[in-house]
C-alpha cells in the first residue's frame, strides 16, 4: 500500500491508453470517474473480486489515466482529465461519448449515496 507510481503527463503513451481502455471494466471505471469527482476505492462497484479490481485500477494508473491518492488506510481515485486533454486533445471526450452510446462497462458503478441526506 505504498505510494504508487504515476507517469508524468508527457510520458503517457497512446498505445498504453488504448490498451488500458480495451477492457469493458476499465472503461466503466473511467465512465464513473468522468464527472471529475474523486472517488473512494470502496465506493466503486464492479463485478470482480477485489484483487481484480485492484489490478484494473493499477492498469489505469500505470497508463496515466487516473491518479491515486492515499489517505490513511483508504485511497481515492480521480481521472486525469487535464493531463489527458493536453496530451491527446479530444480523445477522452470521443471515448466517453462512444462508451455512453454503447453503454460499455455498465456493470461498473458507485455505491449509492456516499453522503447521507
Partner DNA sequence: TTCGATGTTCGTGAAACATCGAACAAGCTA
Partner DNA sequence: TAGCTTGTTCGATGTTTCACGAACATCGAA
Please give the residue ranges that form the binding site for a copy of itself (CB under 8 A): 13-15, 18-19, 21-24, 27, 87-91, 93-95, 97-99, 102, 104
Hey, what's the cell of 77?
481515485
Q: Which does 57 bind (CB under 5 to 8 A by kind): a copy of itself, DNA, none?
A: DNA
**How far is 30 from 96, CA to CA, in rounded Å?**
8
Is the Cβ of residue 49 or residue 117 nearer to DNA in the bound state? 49
List of residues contacting DNA (CB under 7 A): 1-2, 4, 19, 22-23, 25, 40-42, 47-52, 54-59, 68, 72-75
How far apart are CB 101 and DNA at their closest, in Å? 22
With the CA atoms of 23, 50, 36 and 74 taken in that order, what torsion angle do they form, in degrees rounded to the nearest 10? Answer: -150
Is the Cβ of residue 8 or residue 73 nearer to DNA in the bound state? 73
Beta strands per DSSP E along the chain: 39-40, 44-45, 66-71, 74-79, 109-110
C-beta separation of 74 from 42 below 8 A: yes
Q: Which does 86 bind (CB under 5 to 8 A by kind): a copy of itself, DNA, none?
A: none
Amino acid at each position: 500500500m505504498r505510494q504508487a507510481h504515476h507517469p508524468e503527463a508527457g510520458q503517457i503513451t497512446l498505445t498504453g491508453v488504448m490498451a488500458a481502455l480495451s477492457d469493458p471494466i476499465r472503461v466503466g471505471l473511467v465512465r464513473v470517474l468522468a464527472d471529475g469527482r474523486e472517488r473512494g476505492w470502496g465506493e466503486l462497484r464492479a463485478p470482480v473480486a477485489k484483487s481484480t479490481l485492484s489490478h484494473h485500477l493499477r492498469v489505469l494508473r500505470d497508463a496515466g489515466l487516473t491518479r491515486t491518492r492515499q489517505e490513511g488506510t483508504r485511497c481515492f481515485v480521480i481521472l486525469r482529465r487535464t493531463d489527458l486533454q493536453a496530451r491527446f486533445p479530444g480523445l477522452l471526450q470521443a471515448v466517453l461519448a462512444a462508451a455512453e452510446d454503447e453503454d460499455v462497462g455498465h456493470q461498473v458503478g458507485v455505491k449509492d449515496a456516499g453522503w447521507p441526506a
